[in-house]
Amino acid sequence: MGKKKKGRDIEKTYTVKQTAQKLRRLADCLEAGKPFRIQIANERIYIPAKITFNIEHEREGKNEEVELQFKWINE
């Protein structure tokens, strides 16, 4: 299903149902100004309440990708 890339990049494929559940939890946390915790490929990630959020679209030939990105600095 998912795979671990070289370095620190982790990628995991989820079912539609799992993705919807994660997005609902994320939306609830964002609206409430609370941090969000998620587990990706067996690694727990803590996303603080104050983040920069962007959506990225990539196109290469016939392949397209949309990425939801959350960025923050660990202090």
Domain residue extents for the chain: 3-71
Q: Which helix (H) or strand (E) holds 43?
A: strand 43-47
The 10 Å CB-count burial string (b at 16+, else e) for 30-67 is eeeeeebeeeeeeeeeebeeeeeeeeeeeeeeeeeeee
Q: 21-59, pLDDT tens digit by residue?
A: 989 999 999 899 999 998 888 889 899 988 999 999 999
Between 18 and 11, the more confident residue is 18
Q: Is the pLDDT of residue 6 over 70?
A: no
